[in-house]
Chains A and B, each alone.
Chain A
Amino acid sequence: MSHTVLIAGAWISAGLTIFLFSFLYKDNPFFKIAEHLYLGAGMGWWCQIYFGVLQEKVWTPLTHHEWLVLLPALLGLSLITQFIPKISWLSRYGFTFLMGYGSGLAIPAGLATDFINQIGGTIQPFANLAGMTAFTLFNSVLMAVGVICVLIYFFFSLEHKGAIKKVSNVGIYFLMIYFGAAFGNTVMARFSLLYGRFDSLYTFSGKQYLYATQVILIAMVTYFILHGFLTRNKADQDEEAA
């Protein structure tokens, strides 16, 4: 890759970054360009991935005379009949396959990891009762009680009143603690990402990239000032006209 191409990359990268960020100020043509470009680029990215999948899993086997892959290929093609209303019912064959496969996988896996193991995980600390301090015992009991209360909150066929209402309210508090903790914990990851973006903008502001960040930023600000000025004039004229 030549040096010029890399500098061009830096300019494009810095430009697209700033265009997308400009949405935070307000919607504008530059954001719209970046947004539409991204629509195409995103689909393009996945397109080459899925193209690779089809090549590897359909085309190559066919050249080796493995005709069985025609079956899923036909199921897949049936989805495309969507565009022809008369035979669009054919697409049912494709997605009923997906539904059957997905449901069949979901049942045992759901029972194992999210059901049986979660019960086991709640009970298991008590096996070591002798080695527990008062605090860890309290924690384990709290956890078990919490799980039961949350489940009562999710009970649908019971009216939530009286004792059940009280218990399910306790359940809500456990949910709230989880939400709060998850919220607080995610903040870090999101800021790290933003920091990463800013850091690369900072890199592109260097001399070797011909001050890409500064130039684009200044151009954007100028646009917004001019645009604001012009539309305000226009608004004034409208008022006068009215």
Chain B
Amino acid sequence: MKLIKKTIPLAIVFVFGILTLLTYYVPHKHSVDFLETMNKWENIVTAFAFFLGLISLFYAHSTKISRKADGWGYSLFVFVGFLAIIIPAYISKGKNMNGAELTWMGWAFQYIYNPLSATMFAVLAFYIVSTAYKSFRIKSLQAFVLFVAAMFLILGNVPLGQIIWDKMLGWTGYNISQVVDWIMHVPAVAGKRGIMIGISIGAVVTALKIIFGIERQYLGKD
């Protein structure tokens, strides 16, 4: 039992890990074909994983409805929303446009899915403003540095900010876009690079741990 429950899964990680790793160094046709096949496989497995999620979602909301739990009425809208996309997609055979004509699916995308996701994304603008007011506190020299860099970028990106800069700091002889350019290309790059290098090493070491089966917490016990 241990063999099929633990050893084989670990062997799968090892074999696929090493083979995929090698494709980077082996340019041969076989290696390219192998990687292509693996990409396809990954696509297929992820697609099934999606249905795992879909089933969980449906299960959770249908139990809510059947038990008449708190706010079960809202759960009905989960199914309404799902059908509002799936039925048009079925009718239009997955096509958004039929020539220049919007299909039913195109319609569902443009008037249901898109406003929802775009609005949620746009809510961020409000939260940026409230963070600016509520959380952006200069409590230390470090926070002050963050504040100064943010100020330059915020003002430097819009014409009104440039006008304000010219009025107040024009005497320095520097244009704000020069300052912004310098921040973006020198110190900010250094900060970002440091983070990126650290992350890449961490990622490599973690990947090694997984391939060699040292990190196996994701398998669970027994």
Decide if A and B touch, CB cutoff 8 A: yes
Question: Is the Cβ of B191 less than 8 Å from the Cβ of A150?
Answer: yes
Query: Chain B's nearest CB lies how many Å from the CB of A142?
Result: 6
How many angstroms between the C-alpha atoms of A101 and B198 in the bound complex? 22
Question: Is the Cβ of A47 less than 8 Å from the Cβ of B219?
Answer: no
Question: Is the Cβ of B16 less than 8 Å from the Cβ of A185?
Answer: no
Question: Is the Cβ of B193 less than 8 Å from the Cβ of A147?
Answer: yes
Given A50-B51, A178-B191, A196-B118, answer yes or no on A100-B20 (Cβ-Cβ < 8 Å).
yes
Could you say which of B9, B14, B19, B199 contacts A114, with CB atoms under 8 Å apart?
Answer: B199
Q: Does A241 contact B (CB under 8 A)?
A: no
Could you mark each residue 89-112 of chain A with 1 if its beta carbon is under 8 Å from any beta carbon of chain B, else 0?
A: 100111111111111111111110
Question: Is the Cβ of A175 less than 8 Å from the Cβ of B157?
Answer: no
Nearest B residue to A33 by beta-carbon distance? B77
Query: Chain A's nearest CB lies how many Å from the CB of B95?
Result: 11
Nearest 8 A/B pairs, CB to CB: A150-B194, A184-B153, A146-B190, A40-B81, A104-B20, A76-B48, A180-B149, A178-B191
Could you say which of B84, B145, B186 contacts A40, with CB atoms under 8 Å apart?
Answer: B84
**Which residues of A in the span 133-165 have a Cβ within 8 Å of any Cβ on B?**
139, 142-147, 149-151, 153-154
Q: Does B169 contact A (CB under 8 A)?
A: no
Question: Is the Cβ of B193 less than 8 Å from the Cβ of A121?
Answer: yes
Could you mark each residue 169-202 of chain B with 1 if its beta carbon is under 8 Å from any beta carbon of chain A, else 0?
A: 0000000000000111111111111111111110
15 cross-chain CB contacts under 8 A? A1-B101, A33-B77, A37-B77, A37-B80, A40-B79, A43-B82, A73-B48, A104-B211, A107-B207, A108-B25, A143-B189, A150-B198, A154-B194, A177-B191, A184-B157
Write out the residue numbers on chain B whose beta carbons fall within 8 Å of the beta carbon of A39.
Answer: 57, 78, 81
**Which residues of B in the span 16-35 have a Cβ within 8 Å of any Cβ on A?**
16-25
Query: Chain B's nearest CB lies how many Å from the CB of A56?
Result: 9
The stretch from A9-17, A216-224, A228-236 touching chain B is A9-17
Interface size class of A (residues with CB under 8 A): 35 or more
Q: How many A-B residue pairs have CB under 8 A?
A: 386
Question: Is the Cβ of B149 less than 8 Å from the Cβ of A177?
Answer: yes
Nearest B residue to A58 by beta-carbon distance? B44
Query: Chain B's nearest CB lies how many Å from the CB of A202?
Result: 14
Could you mark each residue 165-198 of chain A with 1 if its beta carbon is under 8 Å from any beta carbon of chain B, else 0?
A: 0000001111111111111111110110110110
Could you say which of B21, B192, B211 contacts A178, with CB atoms under 8 Å apart?
Answer: B192
Could you say which of A83, A99, A185 contacts B153, with CB atoms under 8 Å apart?
Answer: A185
Interface centre among A34, A39, A94 (most CB of B within 10 A): A39
How many angstroms between the C-alpha atoms of A1 and B44 in the bound complex? 35
**Which residues of B in the span 111-130 have a Cβ within 8 Å of any Cβ on A?**
111-126, 128
Query: Chain B's nearest CB lies how many Å from the CB of A241?
Result: 24
How many angstroms between the C-alpha atoms of A5 and B43 in the bound complex? 36
Write out the residue numbers on chain B whose beta carbons fall within 8 Å of the beta carbon of A35.
Answer: 74
Q: Does A71 contact B (CB under 8 A)?
A: yes
Interface centre among B10, B44, B74 (most CB of A within 10 A): B44
Question: Is the Cβ of B112 less than 8 Å from the Cβ of A41?
Answer: yes
Question: Is the Cβ of A80 less than 8 Å from the Cβ of B125?
Answer: no
How many angstroms between the C-alpha atoms of A185 and B151 in the bound complex? 10
Q: Does A126 contact B (CB under 8 A)?
A: no
Could you say which of B18, B47, B83, B107 contacts A50, with CB atoms under 8 Å apart?
Answer: B47
Given A58-B44, A69-B44, answer yes or no on A94-B49 (Cβ-Cβ < 8 Å).
yes
Nearest A residue to B16 by beta-carbon distance? A100
Could you mark each residue 32-73 of chain B with 1 if its beta carbon is under 8 Å from any beta carbon of chain A, else 0?
A: 000001101111111111111111010000000000000100
Question: Is the Cβ of A13 less than 8 Å from the Cβ of B111?
Answer: yes
Interface centre among A80, A115, A180 (most CB of B within 10 A): A180
Could you say which of B107, B124, B190, B210 contacts A174, with CB atoms under 8 Å apart?
Answer: B190
Question: Is the Cβ of B120 less than 8 Å from the Cβ of A38?
Answer: yes
Question: Is the Cβ of B46 less than 8 Å from the Cβ of A99?
Answer: no
Write out the residue numbers on chain B whose beta carbons fall within 8 Å of the beta carbon of A105.
Answer: 20-21
Write out the residue numbers on chain A whose beta carbons fall within 8 Å of the beta carbon of B22.
Answer: 104
Query: Chain B's nearest CB lies how many Å from the CB of A32?
Result: 5
